[in-house]
Every structure is written in C-alpha cells, then in structure tokens.
Structure 1
Amino acid sequence: MSNEATSTDSLAVAERVRELMSRHGIGKRQQTSELCRILDLSFSQGHRKLRGNSPWTLSQIKKVAEVFGEPAAQLFGAQSLDPGMVGATAQEAVFAIGGIELACTAWIGAPIEAGSRPEFIAWSKLDQWRVVRYDGALYQNAYEVHKIEIYPRRAETDKPLIAVVDDDQASADNLRDYLERSGFAAVAIYGLAAFADTLQTQVFDGVVIDWLFGAQTSADAIRAVRASENPDAPIFVLTGELLTGKASESEISDIVRNYDVACYEKPARMAILVADLSKRLSRA
C-alpha cells in the first residue's frame, strides 16, 4: 500500500480539472471563476486549488466531475498509474490509528479473503467507512485498502483573503488584525514594490490600499489589480491627506470612477469599512 504525498496528488488533480474545463470550452481566465461557482469558494481559494496548492476532497472532485457529466475516476488517475489499483474506488473515510481518528480518502478494493494479510482494511458502519491497521482479527464485510490520503489540518477554508497595503507597518498590521478578528484572512504588505511582487504569484479577494506612498500614488497598483486574474476584487483606497492638499482629489475621483474603487478617509471607521467589504464580496 502506498501513502503518497498530498501535494503531488493535489497537483495531478488540479491539472486534470483544468484539462476537463478546457475540453468543455472554459477558457483559462474563466476557469478559476467557474470552479469557485461550482464549489462555492472564494476566488483566492479557488486559485490555490486549481494550481494544486490546496488539497482536494473527494466530494469536491465528485462535484466537479458531476457538473461536467464525466466520471470522477478520471480526475484521480490513480488506477491508470498503478495496476494494483484496478477495481478500487475512492471513499471518504475515518482513519483510526493509535486512538486518533483522522478524516481521509481511502481507495477500497475487494473483500479480504481468508488467509490474506493486508496492511490496512476498511468496513462500513452506519454509512461511514472506517479504516484500521489489520490485526488479524475477523471482521465481517471487511475490504482491502490500497491507498490512504490524509489531509493536513490547516486553516484553509472559506475565508476571503484580503491584502492590506501601506508603507506604515503599524497601520497595516492594525487593519490586518481587525480584518482577521472580523472573519477574514488578511496579509499586511509594506509598500508598492512588495505588493507588485506579491501580485505575480498571489490573487486576493479584496484589497485595502493607502493612496500616498511617498511621492507615488497607488494608481498603478490599482490598475494592476484590475488587470490581474481577479480583476473584480473590491478595492478600498485610504487617505488622510485630502485636507492637507498632499492628495489630489481629482486624481482619486478619476480612479474611483474609472476603476470601481471605494475611498475612505483616514483614520478609517473599520466597522463601516468591513461592512462595505462584506457586502461587495457577497455580490461577487
């Protein structure tokens, strides 16, 4: 029996899902949005999953296959890679070992035969598959287990990911912490250059960004978000320099009008900002 790394399997499943969508006429730039619609994910979560950076559950794989009318087995690909997997089916199960129970996906094969000594076995109880190490005891309706996948426990659920961009580290950290207490996942990014670098590899469900960074404004960064893989992400501009004249009201109004940006004066009323962010994300 093999215990293959989840990362490898996630990459393989993600590649097959992308191929499936392409066969059904879903363009590359629309695939993340379509996956989010099917699985009810945030854009950033769908982006990670479609690139193999997030584990796939059996129910998610089955749902994608069902939507496109194709067999879920082809998204696993395990049977074609390992002749010993022929006839095995993937099932969501509980893996019990050493007094610990872990959620897993188990590839379950034929009923065990008298005299056989498989390493692990599975049986169904109250519509729940249970997997244990075989100890030689007699189990009714026990099946051989060919493969077990255990998903790491990590906080990668359905929280939207928000970028907080400011060259004032304390301000960025305070807003990040408030967003996290309000139910979001958030990351503080200190400066425009760091944000530009991050956008090359990461997408966000929303962006809260200061307007002035020394002599520069965040106008180009806002345009970059609108040209990114998630161009519809809500963007909030913060500024405390309108009354001082350092920030140009006409420049900000142009950005607000042309790029669908919300503007809040500093110090931002965080509860109102979060309420507005939540409302805009719910419309996505």
Structure 2
Amino acid sequence: MIGNPAFAKRAGSDTREPFHRGGVMRRMFTRFMALAFALGVCLVLPGVGQAQEETRKTTVYGMLRQTPQGGIELTSAQEPGVVYVPFDRGSIMNSLLDIKVRVRGVVREIVVRNGVTYKVLAVDDVTPMTAEYGATTIERGKAAGLPGTDLAEVHAYHDRTCYFYPRYAVVESLAGYSDGHVLKVSAHTAADSPDAVCELAQGRPLFEIPNGGDFAFAGLSGDTLFVTNGPADGLHGLMAVNLAAQKQTLDATVIPGASVASGSLAYGEKIESGRKPACPAGKTATRPMRLDLKTGKAAPAGKDSCWP
C-alpha cells in the first residue's frame, strides 16, 4: 500500500484520499521552498535583480509623435514594423514631439497586433537630436575633403563633426588636452542608426588618431581614407589608409592641389632624395604622382618641377 498504513486504517476503506492530499501538500511545500529560496537569493544578493534589469535596457533613435487618441508613439527608421509606446513619470516627452530624439529605457512588454510589434517602453531619459535644441545639424550630399572624394552626410555637433558614409563614419573633434584634432573611424552596417554611429554608440571601431598637431580629415573615396597634416595652402603631409585592408597606402609630403578621379589620387610629392631638378632659393623640387586606390601602388605621372 502506498501512503501511511496507520492513517489509512483510521480513515476508513478509501486509502486514495490521504495520498492525494499528501501529494498536494508536498507540491505546495516544494513551491513554497522554491519561492523562499529565490527570495533569499535576492535578499543576500540585492544587485542580482538590478543587473538583470540593466541588461534589458535599450536605446532608440527616432521620432516622438502624438496619436489621434492623445497618446505618444515612438518610431525608428532602423526598426520598421515596430512601434514603441513610451511612458515616463516626468511627462517630458510632450515638449519633444515631431523631432528626432534619443530615448533610453526598459522594454516592459511586447505585443504583436495586426502585423505590428508594439513595445511598451519605460523611459529613463530623452535627449533631443535636432538643431533647435543645440544638438546637431545634418547636411546630406556634402563635399568633404579633397576634390573628387565621396559625398558625405555631415552631422555637425557643438563639439564634433561626424562624416557619415554608407559603410564608414569619421568623427572629428578638437583635442581636449592640446591643439589639434582627434579622429575616430568606424565601420557600420545599414541596420545601425546614423545618430548612434556618430555618437560612437554603434558601429565597429577601426582606428583612432588621438592627436598629432594639425591632423584633419581630408575625405573618403570608397574604402580609402585621406588625412592631412599641416596647412593646406603650403607643403603638408598627406596620408591614405585602406580601411577594408586596414593598411596605410601613402604617407608623403605634398603640395596643394591633390585630387581624386577615376579610382586614383593625383598629387605632387616633395622629392626628398635622389635625382631632382635644381630649384632656385625658396622653391621646392616636386614630382607628380598617381596612387591607385585599389592596389595601393604609387607611380610617377609626369615631369619633375619646382614649386611654387
């Protein structure tokens, strides 16, 4: 007989009821012990619950809009088919409608309805991303750097400039500890938000030029980045880097007038050694050169001369 024989004899002929009640009590006791154990873990390790919540935090770059019913929705170009339903205790979102914003918070609930995913977002903070709030201005199709380089989407912040391209982004800012520029270059995908990439919150960092005098961004052509060092109207340094191969392809002292056309860089390089023309005082011997951006190989492209 399964159960307690002594209890069965006192209870009568049906021995199943005591066993059934005992099973229920055992299940209730097991659940109670599991709950008590979980509570004990939370009491002993108060940071556990907080850490789990932190991992669910998300950052959304998008637009806050008011619905016909008076509510507020947040949509992002990087998440088509997703609508965030944000709520915050301070109700600061009402003053940030119809402008680009960065919203940080925790997704509390996800509901799919009629093919649309609704995410209830508990908002921690909202940051405006538009010019009228002093955050940034955006210019598209902007020429940046050497003539002939790719057009960029330029995000001009109060403390830095971001040159955004289909595969790369270059963030240029003034060095905080000395004169000069800090350049940070990263790769990104179409799924990354331009605002997040320009804030260095998304994308894959490739390299950084922390400082070095007058380093400045000089444009991008395909996978090739150009950086100058020194005044553009005189002799100055010119560097080229193949970002895909992560390889430097040029480091030369050049005269003004470098340009990109048909997949190559044309420039006049100062002749440092070897045969060169005899130039009068105040003039520099130079050689016209051409750098193939695909192969990274440079070759002479004309006769030596004196500059200026």
Q: Which structure would you say has the larger Rg? A: 2
Q: TM-score by structure 1 length?
A: 0.23
More strand by share: 2
More helix by share: 1
